[in-house]
Amino acid sequence: MSGLIIDNISMRFDLANGKAVQALQNVSLDLKQGELLAVLGPSGCGKTTLLNILAGFLAPTEGQVRLGGKRVTGPGPERGMVFQQGALFEWMNVRHNIDFGPRMKGMARAERDRITDHLLETVGLHDFGEKAVYELSGGMQQRVALARCLANDPDVILMDEPLGALDALTREKMQGLVLKLWKETAKTVVLITHSVEEALLLGERLVVMAPRPGRIFREYRLPFAERGVNMDLRAVKRSEGFAQTREEILEMIWGMEEEIMGKRESA
Amino acid sequence: MVVLLVYAAIFVVSMLVWGRIKRHRDRHDFTSLKTVTFGDESAIIPDRVASVISVVSVFLIWGAFTGSRIVPLHVPGPFIGEAGFSYTARDASGAEAQAPVRILVHAIGAKPAPPVVPEGTGFAKGDAAIVAAWRSVLIRPADNDGPGAQIVAIDGKPIAVDQKIAVSGGAVTLTAKGSLNFQAARGMQMEPIWLPSPEAVVARLIEIANNGFQNTSLWGHLGASLARVLAGFVLGSAVGIPLGYAMGLSGWFRGWFDPIVEFMRPVPPLALIPLVIIWFGIWETGKVVLLFLAALWIMVIAARSGVSGVKLSKIHAAYSLGASRAQIMRHVIIPNSLPDLFTGARVAMGVCWGTVVAAELVAAQKGAGMMIIAASKFQLTDIVVMGIILIGIIGYGIDIAMRMAERRLVPWKGRG
Ligand SMILES: Nc1ncnc2c1ncn2[C@@H]1O[C@H](COP(=O)(O)OP(=O)(O)O)[C@@H](O)[C@H]1O
Ligand SMILES: [Mg+2]
């Protein structure tokens, strides 16, 4: 069992014009194995930057990230990624997208096929293995992306607005799928979103970030994800405390937006 | 000029007629139900009827203006038959006399006997001449009319030096030396030496396909050109693609080669011919080097943009799935660049084909370009036209083949 520890990281981008952007400042988080963390915040508050640091694509200017006691220094198969869109390999069919990770590891064909067949079933695409990915709808493509990530059996799944480009109905179905997969696989998940509702539905833990400098503004522990595992998501939205928490967070984010606008006007 | 007007007339008339016909046919597909098609690019589907009429009318006009047998309608042809006029001569004493001139205008290539010399009146003696259609002939009718005789009128109309008078079957001009230049009436058709008729071109094609041209078969000529294109293209790709990849993947490579590539890219390959000839000679090596250079920059740029066009999220995804650099190269970067490579290859093949023909015009023993330039030296216009048509068809064929290969090999193009 391995936890994901974000130890006081800061990230500063030095711009070409001599200025610097403090994208993250003193961000610390401690995630236990199997926790689902949703990260919410207005655009430009450093969510993507944080995820890229967790994935190992960026090295923070200060602090470090540790997974299972080992410091993260680059990308690795123990941290799987699901992107918003367009990260599938369209020159491979669905099956080969999903078994990409195992294939690169040199896993035997039979074993790979067993994993892939199982995953196709899990994400509800069991007749689509030989289809070209560009023939699938946006929602189906994201199912493939989830399956591809799971095929590699990572410890942590990092998702950057994975459902952001989907229509409302598909999105709701996919939220249910994410919850189901999280519960079944017991993986640690970090999910970035700019939808308050999605953050509430999926985040067992939720951090709200504020911009300039990007930092953690509030942290929550929420009951809704646990409810969503056994309950219809629409019922969860009607359940006790949901609407109230949503209003509270919306208020908070509106406050941040107004502050940004104010700063811009005075600048 | 007339040709353009006729072509425009066919365009407009067939458009109106076909538009009328189409309106009477009820179609209820999606496009036909659109009310806004002006400016909606997707609603503009090439009208195949227009394509057919377009091609057919090119051949009809070609036939009509060259007196082709396969076309029923012709514009007036050149005058053929017996032309003639009478002239009035005045001798040193001031006396005038008249005599006729007979001119036989014959089809090009025919060798008829000259017409009988007609009688004259007084001291003027009749004259006879023979000339091929479209051509002119210099006649000296006064030479046999005694000393000092000068022409003063044609068909009773007074004539001065450099003046032109229309006569039956043509026109005559009086030259400064006192002779007459007879120009047979040209009509509106083209002389075969300017533009041969379609059947003459086809006949030439069959003849050359059977007997070859200048010791090489037709397939030998076309094959030689194609082989050069392929050699240049393959060499250019073999160097250009790895170089383009390197430029897409390494800042040092990009910095090093960017100035060279950007400098060479706008230089048309034809401008390199003189230098290539000086360095590599006019024969095969020179041509292949030229085509290599033509393909090289195109393929470098295609490969470079293929690599830099890869979405970062794909690379990130591959790294997060545990792929090594070599695996990312093989399974992500290379396949991702294939659509760009195909686009580049299509452009490169087109440019190479054009360049090889031009290079063969300069010097070659075989090849499509050599065929037309050698034929033009002997004014064998039918071979020139045949060559141009074959060059066009092959270039078009290459492009179609490349597009078909593209559709089969990179079906995901543009759908990422
Ligand atoms: N590569 C970069 N260079 C410079 N500034 C960057 C870079 N990446 C992100 N930033 C800046 O860091 C801040 C946070 O960006 P990001 O993490 O993308 O925010 P979010 O994902 O929350 O919208 C923004 O102000 C952005 O302009
Ligand atoms: Mg972002």
* Mean pLDDT for all residues in chain A: 89
Between B40 and A59, the more confident residue is A59
How does pLDDT run across B160-207, given as a tens digit for each residue?
Answer: 888 888 888 889 998 888 888 999 888 888 888 888 888 888 998 998
pLDDT at A118 over 70: yes
- The answer to whether B100 and B84 are in contact (CB under 8 A) is yes
Q: Please report the ipTM that was assigned to this predicted complex.
A: 0.91
| Cα gap B102→B128, rounded to integer Å | 5
Of ligand 1's listed atoms, the one at least distance from the Cα of A11 is 12
Residue A120 phi/psi, 5-degree rounding, is: -60, -40
Residue B401 phi/psi, 5° resolution? Answer: -60, -40
> Are A77 and B331 within 8 A, CB to CB?
no
Q: Report chain B residues whose CB lies below 8 A from the CB of A158.
A: 320
Radius of gyration of chain A (CA): 19
Q: Take residue A132 and report the two structure tokens written for it.
A: 């070209």
Atom number, ligand 1, closest to the C-alpha of residue A160: 21
A4-14: strand order across its sheet: A20-31, A4-14, A62-67, A70-71
pLDDT confidence of residue B255: 95
Each residue of B118-176: pLDDT tens digit?
A: 887 778 888 888 898 888 888 888 888 777 788 888 888 888 888 888 888 889 998 88
Share of chain B above pLDDT 70, in %: 98
Model pLDDT for residues B317-351, shown as the tens digit of each residue: 999 999 999 999 999 999 999 999 999 999 999 99
Contact between residue A223 and residue A191 where contact means Cβ atoms under 8 Å apart: no
Ligand 1 atom with least separation from CA of A45: 22
Burial label, B126 (beta-carbon count in 10 A; 0-12, 13-18, 19+): buried
User: pLDDT tens, A230-253?
Assistant: 888 888 888 888 889 999 999 988
Among B65-79, B254-268, B353-367, the range scoring the smallest mean pLDDT is B65-79
Ligand that comes closest to the CA of residue A162: 2
Q: What is the pLDDT of residue B282?
A: 81
Confidence at residue B217, expressed as pLDDT on a 0 to 100 scale: 87
**Domain residue extents for chain A:** 31-60+68-78+154-266
Task: Round to whole Å and give the CA distance between B359 and B283.
Answer: 10
Residue B39 has pLDDT above 80, yes or no: no
| Domains recognised in chain B with CATH numbers | 2-64 (no CATH), 81-184 (no CATH), 199-409 (1.10.3720.10)
Q: What pLDDT does residue A264 have?
A: 66
What gap in Å lies between CA B245 and CA B240, rounded to an integer? 8
For testing the chain A interface, which of B321, B329, B337 should be mutated: the one with the most A CBs within 10 Å?
B321
Write down the H helix ranges in chain A. Answer: 47-55, 94-98, 100-105, 109-122, 138-151, 168-185, 196-202, 224-230, 233-238, 242-266
Predicted local distance difference test score (pLDDT) of residue A233? 84
Q: How confident is the model at residue B195, as a pLDDT?
A: 86
pLDDT single digits (tens) B279-309? 998 888 999 999 999 999 999 999 999 999 8
Distance CA(A151)–CA(B117), nearest Å, equals 104
Task: Out of A9, A10, A13, give the residue to mutate to test ligand 1, the one with the largest number of ligand atoms within 8 Å of its CB.
Answer: A13
Report the predicted TM-score, pTM, of the whole model to 2 decimal places: 0.82
Looking at residue B226, what is its pLDDT? Answer: 93
> For residues A200 and A249, is the Cβ–Cβ distance under 8 A?
yes
User: Distance (Å) from the C-alpha of residue A226 to the closest C-alpha of chain B?
Assistant: 28
> Which pLDDT score is estimated for A2?
74
* pLDDT tens for each residue of A209-229: 998 888 999 898 988 888 888
**Nearest-CB residue to A90 (from B324, B327, B415):** B415
At B31, is the pLDDT very low, low, confident or very high (cuts 50, 70, 90)?
low
φ/ψ (deg, to 5) at A78: -80, -10
**CATH fold label, A31-60+68-78+154-266:** Rossmann fold (3.40.50)
